[in-house]
Amino acid sequence: MTITNKDEGKLTGSFEGLRVLDFSTTIAGPHCTRMLADMGAEVIKVETAEGETMRTRLPVRNGCSTAFGSLNVGKNSVVLDLKSAEGIEAVRRLVATSDVLVENFRPGVMRRLKLDYASLRELNPKLIYCSISGYGQTGPSAELPAYAPVIHAASGYEMAHLAYQPGRSRPDYCGIYHADVLTGVYAFGAISAALYQRGSTGKGQHIDVSMLESMLSLTLNEVQWSQFEVQPSQRPMFGPIETTDGYVMAAVASEKTFQALLQVIGRPEWITDVRFAKYSDRRANWGELMDAVEAWSRTVTTQACLTELNGHGVPSAAYRTVKEALSDPQLAHRGALAEVADGGGTFKVLNLPFRMSGAKVAAAPKMATLGEHTRAYLKEAGLSDDEIATFSDKTAVAARR
């Protein structure tokens, strides 16, 4: 069963009619604009003739990357040479009819191209211009190169995470780029707010989104603790509980769940035990409590453990691989995955994690090819066939598709 709305076929996206110029690359910016596309916006992705680097990221089938596709499905593809006067002029014409522009070049690049907000707002006063960067558009660190792992380290996130790893003295390796995804979501939220404000003022604005500050928002408690020398060890630490065939996470975050846990492990008398009766004492003896929990859990399977814990109201889940998580019937019920077609076949991408009763929220079914929409947009912008032909050979080839 999949969640559906009886009027779903009639619904349009919340951003239907919105035109977005997308100059962003890699993850943060494309993630933001993919969200806009899923909600109905017309997103024009501008690339060089070679295409952006994510097009080579695995998995690649027949020259088509599903990693790139998951971030860019639903967008129209235009190839322009921003180093040429013709390319810049084409952008300016597209800006005149656009609502939003998103870019994540290093600060200063768009200004040198005369495509920064100050250069474009007179051309289109209603333009909402969103700049995503590592440290922000101004300040002593603004022009430093930045990728997600660098921001993870600079934000304090990795050292905060290390403090929760008993016996560890070296920060972990970084394989999942939280900063990119998080910053893309913040950019999406800021753009949505600016569009709402434009509805009453009629004016656009510049949005400056910092990956560093976005990443700091994941350490809300630590930001406070750092000001008052509170140590993370002063609160319970949730970690894996071993079973006969895997690991389980159980979150014991209230008196009710604590008491239920003691019933599960056969220690109801500990509810009044001086070591655990009060939260402060329980916190001080947390390791001893978890040892007792694991002494029980190691005698049962993961499924039996989950049945007991969840059955008594203790929030818990098995540690799963992403592949295992994607096969969860709950995701199928919600229609969390959409099938997309490109030149390599089909693959699945995540839909946005929310549903709206009055709007369509869904990934497009097909990926555009590189440069597929170049000619159409240049013609719409008023360029003649001769003008389009003045682009570089590779761009012109793409433009004729």
Rounded Cα distance between 88 and 92, Å, is 6
pLDDT at 5: 54
For the whole model, what pTM was predicted?
0.92
Domains of the chain by range and CATH? Answer: 8-220+328-399 (3.40.50.10540), 247-318 (3.30.1540.10)
Neighbours of 380 (CB within 10 A): 12
Side-chain-side CA neighbours of 331 within 13 Å: the count stands at 16
pLDDT at 391: 61
The separation between CA 290 and the C-alpha centre of its own chain, rounded to angstroms, equals 34
The separation between CA 267 and the C-alpha centre of its own chain, rounded to angstroms, equals 42
Rounded Cα distance between 57 and 34, Å, is 17
The tens digit of pLDDT for each residue in 240-277 reads: 999 999 999 999 989 999 999 999 999 999 999 999 99
pLDDT at 230: 78
Q: Which residues of the chain have pLDDT under 50?
A: 1-3, 392-394, 396-401
